[in-house]
Amino acid sequence: MAHISITVNGKRHEADVEPRTLLVDFLREHLGLTGTHVGCDTSQCGACTVHLDGRSVKACTVFAVQADGRSVTTIEGMSADGALHPLQEGFREEHGLQCGFCTPGMIMAAADLLQHNPDPSEAEIRHALEGNYCRCTGYHNIVRAVQYAARKMREQATVEA
Amino acid sequence: MITCKTSREIGGMGHPIKRKEDIRFIQGKGRYVDDIKLPGMLHMDIVRSPYAYARIKHIDASEALKIPGVVAVVTGKDLEKYNLHWMPTLMSDTQMVLPTDTVMYQAQEVAAVIATDRYTARDAKEAVRVEYEPMKPVVDPYKALEPDAPVLRTDKEGKTDNHIWHWEVGDREKTEAVFRSADVVVKEHMHIPRIHVVSIETCGCVADYDKVNNHLTMYMTTQAPHAIRTVIALVAGHLGLTEEKIRVISPDIGGGFGGKVPVYPGYVIAIAVSFLTGKPVKWIEDRSENLQADSFARDYHITAEMAATREGKILATRFKVLADHGYTDAAANPSKFPTGLFSIGTGSYDYDTAFMEADAVYTNKPPGGVAYRCSFRVTEAVHAIERLTDSMARALGMDPAEFRMKNFIKKEDFPWKSPTGWTYDSGDYHAGLKKAMEVIGYDDLRREQAEKRKKGELMGIGISTFTEIVGAGPSRDFDILGIKMFDSCEIRVHPTGKAIARFGTKSQGQGHETTYAQIIAEELGIPAEHIQVEEGDTDTAPYGLGTYASRSTPTAGAAAAVAARKLRDKARKIAAYLLEVSEEDLEWEPGKFYVKGAPEKAKTIQDIVFAAYTNHPPGMEAGFEATHYYDPPNLTFPSGAYICVVDIDKETFEIKIRRFVAIDDCGNIINPMVVQGQVHGGLTQGLAPAMYEELIYDEDGNILNGTLMDYLVPTAVESPRWETGHTITPSPHHPIGAKGVGESPTVGAPPAIANAIVDALSVYGITHLDIPITPYKIYEALKAKGVIED
């Protein structure tokens, strides 16, 4: 067993885990944060995407011990203060989800993009989401949802500035 | 143009209201099967066969059982003691749950390991030693029918070959006569390859058997919870698990697409283990298991022929199919339809002569095939007719749009009787294609293409004008294992005028919580936001056959409208009592009854419902509830006109979809936002088999692309920006005139894309390429034509 200390959605968690425990299993099984999903076993689908120190990672490809001493944000942390994140709002407004299984990973991957590129082109959005599969939406409205959020976040940034 | 009869506040049909279910999904608060955690829960993993065909000589679980935390290893011999080692398929075939002596396909379940956590179960699975004696498998369905092919289903008494069934429809002799004398005949051989639904959530369950109360709660990824409850009772009834002791709960489902209709062995094993241990057992398959072992779709080998006059009038079609079902016929069709609704394949065209036949065979491949976002083999049929239509247009030297326009069934000829026996309810095919051609600028594109051809550039335009057949189905013909394919809705309106409605269907992303509420809002005037929709719990919902084959709106949606109308009739009586007028003196407008000529004398639906609990008329039953089981009088026939434009790189043969216009006609629209979303998703699922996806097996029956590393699911990069639109031709027999839309794009897109690619390559004399059409396939075809050298 390995002792780890991980900050998840702003809250510090201490645990003893098997060294081989995947971060996604730690989040889902140990912490009960089931918003992060598992859709494949080869790191293709991206349903498990979370942020590790602010950058998106596939939590099925990171060991919990690798996150020791670091900070993780999951979908549950995106609306922690009660208000929806612009991406969450955008996915609903633009009908960017259907079954909802890929949605948390999709939102986390898109959030990473918008942190680094506040005004992405359609092609840039599509490329940024290449590691996230969706089988329901045909991606069309996911692109629009990200554009919605980008617009809103830029407006908010302008207001704050 | 969509017109709304209700106000935005009521949010009835036609309003693009945001989905209610999204609130939980966008916050990670959906509840899928793998999110369920019960006290004392055990975890199951499955040992699978590395061989496609082998005898099991010995299973040694001793090392596995030594691992701390391992509770049991279950084999077919263990299940045989309880007669649970086999199960019936939905097509009245039989399927092993776990084998007692022989494995019939690679990745077949061989043994189950049960442990206290998932990681330990996986360790134990690796530690189970199985000794096999491999045999030469039968992989090619044509070879399976050869006289010297080994008989695979020796478990079926008296079986002397690998043939499963023969099916035919239409007039063979008349068709042959027409073909003999026709001016022009075209013929194409096509394989619609084996593919997989790849819902992003795999399959799984938590079986929770309570020994004290002899009661099973089964949480599972199923599109048809009620039917599953009945099947469990039929399989396990002899153990005392009768139907009232079984509760099936289908929680949030992460996509189904037909892949979550069948009963997979893992479900049955989990139930058996929970029954024996008295503990909850969770089984969640991983993606590779899902791809390799769960039901495939398609895998039809089709010889398609069309006869026409020199002037371009279609006279007849003839289809011959070889269906590869793998180890057992585990298709999920209505029982009387072994080829599903393949007989819709005469298409959108007006002619009266057709003959279709199909033969099914066993091979050493996983069993199936499911109706993948398709109303039972409609995708295969539409691909055949729409490819064939293009081939005929080309043979005649006619433009494919003009050829279609010339042969479409006319709007005024509906209801139209097809040569294979269907009565198409309504359609306006000319209007659909005309609109698609206008939106995409068809004539300009043809001019551009002619210019490009002069320069040697490869540009193609492909059309697909399909007719779907959905909403199974009328009880005279449609049943599954004898249970008629009606569907149901129960509405309870609470005293304060808010409602809960329950259904026999089960959404897997379609948005029922929103769209069903809109149907009831339309009929009763109660705001959709105050109508809670619930599905998927067999203890609370009325019986129904579930959600697949675009049947929810045609059946349960209709049930919702009829149940709501029953309540409106009751509301009228109560209103008459409250207003002290006769029922005939009342007029309805969404949300209230008022006295004719005196609109100020009115009772809102909320007033009326409150009275149903507080002040109901003497002699009337109190309360405000209704249930309806809707048995559709006919199927519905959605249609569409799709046009695709491709550019193909002359050096690399990379195919780029430049534009894709989809004009759908699904009758009246409940929520245009949801309909458009369904079309987008279906189009990408049509793009997938057209250009990327195929499950490939080698001659030993090994799957060559059994993980998502190798099986190419389109991402946001491959998927183009879709252009959608609609025409509206209401279904004349459906209570709200709706037809269903979920599957049209999956059905209609592949031939539009294939036709565009073949159109581009037709300059080289290519008339057909099997999907998926890849750059390599184009390279091979051009090499075969002598266009390019090695």
Q: CB contact, 8 Å: A113 with chain B?
A: no
Nearest to B102 by CA among B116, B118, B86: B86
Instruction: Please identify every residue of B annotated as catalytic.
Output: 223, 373-374, 743
The verdict on A45 and A100 lying in the same domain is no
Query: What HEC string does B123-179 produce?
Result: HHHHHCEEEEEECCCCCCHHHHCCCCCCCCCCCCCCCCCCEEEEEEEECHHHHHHHH
A102-113 average pLDDT score: 98
B434-459 average pLDDT score: 98
Give me the pLDDT at residue B315, please. 98
* CATH code of A122's domain: 1.10.150.120
For residue A12, what are the domain limits? 2-77
The verdict on B437 and B503 lying in the same domain is no
The verdict on B530 and B662 lying in the same domain is no
Number of domains in chain A: 2
Cβ-contact B365, B697 below 8 angstroms: yes
The verdict on A19 and A67 lying in the same domain is yes
Question: Considering only CB atoms, which chain A residues are within 8 Å of B200?
Answer: 37, 39, 45, 47, 99, 101-102, 133-135
Of A31, A46, A77, the position where a domain reaches its end is A77
- Residue B590, CB-side half-sphere exposure with 13 Å CA sphere: 20
The verdict on A63 and A115 lying in the same domain is no
CA of B677 to nearest chain A CA: how many angstroms apart?
6
Of A77, A102, A117, the position where a domain reaches its end is A77
Q: Say if B144 falls within a structural domain.
A: no
Contact at CB, B287 and A39, closer than 8 angstroms: yes
How many C-beta neighbours within 10 Å does residue B11 have? 25
Contacts with B409 (C-beta within 8 Å, 6 or more apart), sequence order: B348, B349, B350, B416, B424, B427, B429
Q: Say if B680 falls within a structural domain.
A: yes
Suggest the residue from A48, A95, A132 to mutate for an interface test with chain B (most B CBs closer than 10 A). Answer: A95
Asked if residue A80 has pLDDT above 80, the reply is: no
Residues B657-711 have pLDDT tens digits of 999 999 999 999 999 999 999 999 999 999 999 999 999 999 999 999 999 999 9
The verdict on A130 and A108 lying in the same domain is yes
Helices (H), A11-102: 23-25, 86-93
Asked if residue A88 has pLDDT above 90, the reply is: yes
How many C-beta neighbours within 10 Å does residue B529 have? 16
The verdict on B350 and B377 lying in the same domain is yes
The verdict on B273 and B301 lying in the same domain is no
Contact at CB, A130 and B715, closer than 8 angstroms: yes
Q: Say if B715 falls within a structural domain.
A: yes
Mean pLDDT over all residues of chain B?
97
User: From B508, which residue of chain A is nearest by alpha-carbon distance?
Assistant: A99
Cβ-contact B388, B186 below 8 angstroms: yes
Contacts with B410 (C-beta within 8 Å, 6 or more apart), sequence order: B350, B430
How far apart are the C-alpha atoms of B121 and B115, rounded to whole Å? Answer: 5
The verdict on B95 and B243 lying in the same domain is yes
Of B284, B307, B326, the position where a domain reaches its end is B284
Contact at CB, B199 and A139, closer than 8 angstroms: no
* CATH code of A51's domain: 3.10.20.30
Contact at CB, B716 and A25, closer than 8 angstroms: no
Give me the pLDDT at residue B504, please. 96
User: From B712, which residue of chain A is nearest by alpha-carbon distance?
Assistant: A44
CA of A158 to nearest chain B CA: how many angstroms apart?
26
Of A31, A48, A77, the position where a domain reaches its end is A77
Give me the pLDDT at residue B234, please. 86
CA of A48 to nearest chain B CA: how many angstroms apart?
11
Residues B627-665 have pLDDT tens digits of 999 999 999 999 999 999 999 999 999 999 999 999 999
For residue B619, what are the domain limits? 22-30+487-630
The verdict on A37 and A73 lying in the same domain is yes
Q: Read off the pLDDT band of A81 (50, 70, 90).
A: confident
Q: Read off the pLDDT band of B789 (50, 70, 90).
A: confident
Q: Say if B482 falls within a structural domain.
A: no
B361-365 average pLDDT score: 98
How far apart are the C-alpha atoms of B431 and A118, rounded to whole Å? Answer: 43
User: DSSP class of residue B345?
Assistant: G
Give me the pLDDT at residue B449, please. 98
User: From A140, which residue of chain B is nearest by alpha-carbon distance?
Assistant: B721
Give me the pLDDT at residue B1, please. 75
The verdict on B620 and B641 lying in the same domain is no
Q: What percent of chain B has pLDDT over 90?
A: 96
Structure tokens at B429: 């095919």
The verdict on B37 and B111 lying in the same domain is yes
How far apart are the C-alpha atoms of B408 and B399, rounded to whole Å? Answer: 14
- Residue B733, CB-side half-sphere exposure with 13 Å CA sphere: 20
Q: Read off the pLDDT band of B125 (50, 70, 90).
A: very high
The verdict on A100 and A151 lying in the same domain is yes
Q: Say if B333 falls within a structural domain.
A: yes
Give me the pLDDT at residue B790, please. 74
Contact at CB, B677 and A75, closer than 8 angstroms: no
CA of B780 to nearest chain A CA: how many angstroms apart?
29
The verdict on B397 and B338 lying in the same domain is yes
Please identify which residue in the block is written with the tokens 């269903």.
Answer: B740
Q: Say if B172 falls within a structural domain.
A: no
Asked if residue B52 has pLDDT above 90, the reply is: yes
The verdict on A6 and A27 lying in the same domain is yes
Residues B222-263 have pLDDT tens digits of 999 999 999 999 888 888 999 999 999 999 999 999 999 999
Q: Say if B162 falls within a structural domain.
A: no
Question: Considering only CB atoms, which chain A residues are within 8 Å of B119?
Answer: 18, 20-21, 25
Question: Considering only CB atoms, which chain A residues are within 8 Å of B510?
Answer: 98
Suggest the residue from B200, B221, B535 to mutate for an interface test with chain A (most A CBs closer than 10 A). Answer: B200
B740 upstream amide cis, omega within 30 of 0: no
The verdict on B446 and B578 lying in the same domain is no
Please identify which residue in the block is written with the tokens 């036609």.
Answer: B14
Q: CB contact, 8 Å: A56 with chain B?
A: no
Contact at CB, B713 and A133, closer than 8 angstroms: yes
Of B630, B650, B668, the position where a domain reaches its end is B630
The verdict on B551 and B614 lying in the same domain is yes
Q: Read off the pLDDT band of B195 (50, 70, 90).
A: very high
Helix (H) or strand (E) holding B625: strand B625-630
The verdict on A90 and A42 lying in the same domain is no
Mean pLDDT lowest among A37-41, B331-335, B593-597, B629-633: B331-335
Contacts with A151 (C-beta within 8 Å, 6 or more apart), sequence order: none
B788: helix, strand or coil: coil
The verdict on B591 and B496 lying in the same domain is yes
Helices (H), B294-411: 378-396, 400-407
Number of Cβ pairs closer than 8 Å across A and B? 180
The verdict on A111 and A131 lying in the same domain is yes
B133-140 average pLDDT score: 98
The verdict on A7 and A69 lying in the same domain is yes
The verdict on A45 and A92 lying in the same domain is no
φ and ψ at B598, to 5 degrees?
Answer: -140, 70
* CATH code of B546's domain: 3.30.365.10
Q: CB contact, 8 Å: A106 with chain B?
A: no
How far apart are the C-alpha atoms of B292 and B695, rounded to whole Å? Answer: 9
Cβ-contact B297, B197 below 8 angstroms: yes
Contact at CB, B713 and A74, closer than 8 angstroms: no
Q: Say if B347 falls within a structural domain.
A: yes
Q: Read off the pLDDT band of B2 (50, 70, 90).
A: confident
Contact at CB, A140 and B680, closer than 8 angstroms: yes
The verdict on B432 and B523 lying in the same domain is no
Of B595, B630, B665, the position where a domain reaches its end is B630
The verdict on A120 and A59 lying in the same domain is no
pTM, two decimal places: 0.98
Number of domains in chain B: 3
Give me the pLDDT at residue B329, please. 96
How far apart are the C-alpha atoms of A111 and A118, rounded to whole Å? Answer: 10
Cβ-contact B380, B342 below 8 angstroms: yes
Strand order in the sheet with A71-73: A11-17, A2-8, A71-73, A49-52, A55-58
Cβ-contact B448, B646 below 8 angstroms: no
Q: CB contact, 8 Å: A101 with chain B?
A: yes
